[in-house]
Amino acid sequence: MRLLVLGGTEFAGRAVVEAALARDWEVAVFHRGRHEAPAGVVPLRGDRTAEGGLAALAGGRWDLVVDTWSGDPTAVRDAARLLAGRADRYVYVSSRSVHAWPPAAGTAEDGPLVEASPDATGVPYPQCKRGGELAVLAAFGAERTLLGRAGLIIGPGENVGRLPWWLNRTARGGPVLAPGPRDLPLQYIDVRDMATWLLDAAGAGLSGPYNLVSPNGHTTMVGLLEACVRATGSGAELRWTDPEVILAAGVEPWSDLPIWIPEGELYDAMHRGDVTKALAAGLRCRPVTETVADTWAWLRTLGGRAPQRADRPATGLSAEREAQLLGR
């Protein structure tokens, strides 16, 4: 297989590249040069947001294109139009955020979607991702387009800071503010499982949208945080605290305490999506203990300092704020 990855030097794109290289595929990576391309690929330099920035893609032919773009959909539109006659299939890593708010618990791929346009600029994230979907569909058609609607993505290489924050926090030891309830079910995907499924599904000729996260309850808050304590070997003490107490103290779910969202509208949207279709199409999700342990091993190679995307805010409570809350 000849694969072109648009991106491919960070987190999700890099995981796709590594999975393809492990299959002995021929891989080309189109990127801006801000990060080093993985060894073994054909590097193609360009900035898809600049005038003439797609010049490096003017030649060549590929069996498959994988695109992880999350900005203005016009960038997806222009790349898809350019490649429509020289690539067989296009995989767009989208998001479950494309569903109209609020998506009910158990929303499947055919649930209501946000209004969006492939020609839009400066629009919110849901409209960016839905606009990107529409752009690929317009250029490649429904039968040649695979849309992977991811949710929470974690695992080695994470550059958003959610699981790395919990790992670094538990590694420091001592009492840790653990948001309850302990048995709160979570829904996420290991980036490597997502990459594997995308390549398998594309190779099998699948098309259309698929929700790409684990089943709800693949793990729980206690399963995740205890895995962090074990992986780091810190002996940290998890101080389980009721969500009402945490919220009353002004703590922001998801941002101050990454991954955690108390039950309600936002929880239903993030952690209760229907993944029946992807599971039937072969999606397999590794145990949380493996994801956590491998992410910690990767973090240790970086001295604990995970990369941080410039377009995403840093996450997690400060040590001082957590100490105040534990003191309460």
Asked if residue 125 and residue 9 are part of one domain, the reply reads: yes
Please identify every stretch of the chain with a pLDDT value under 70, giving residue numbers as ranges.
Answer: 328
User: How far is the CA of 86 from the CAs of 58, 79, 83, in angstroms?
Assistant: 10, 11, 5
Task: Answer whether residue 31 is part of any domain.
Answer: yes
Asked if residue 321 and residue 182 are part of one domain, the reply reads: yes
Asked if residue 36 and residue 166 are part of one domain, the reply reads: no
Task: Answer whether residue 163 is part of any domain.
Answer: yes
Give the whole-angstrom CA distance, residue 5 versus residue 64: 8
Q: Are 99 and 268 in contact (CB under 8 A)?
A: no
Provide the pLDDT for residue 313. Answer: 85
Asked if residue 166 and residue 128 are part of one domain, the reply reads: no
Provide the pLDDT for residue 23. Answer: 98
Asked if residue 168 and residue 102 are part of one domain, the reply reads: no
Asked if residue 127 and residue 173 are part of one domain, the reply reads: no
What's the pLDDT tens digit per position in 250-260? 999 999 999 99
Task: Answer whether residue 203 is part of any domain.
Answer: no
Which residues constitute the domain of residue 304?
Answer: 158-186+216-273+286-327
Among 125, 150, 175, the domain-final residue is 150
Among 134, 150, 166, the domain-final residue is 150
Neighbouring residues of 152: CB distance < 8 A, sequence distance ≥ 6: 162, 186, 187, 188, 189, 213, 259, 270, 271
Task: Answer whether residue 211 is part of any domain.
Answer: no
Asked if residue 29 and residue 139 are part of one domain, the reply reads: yes
Number of domains in the chain: 2
CATH of the domain at 145: 3.40.50.720
Task: Please state the pTM of the whole predicted model.
Answer: 0.96
Asked if residue 245 and residue 309 are part of one domain, the reply reads: yes
CATH of the domain at 262: 3.90.25
Provide the pLDDT for residue 328. Answer: 64
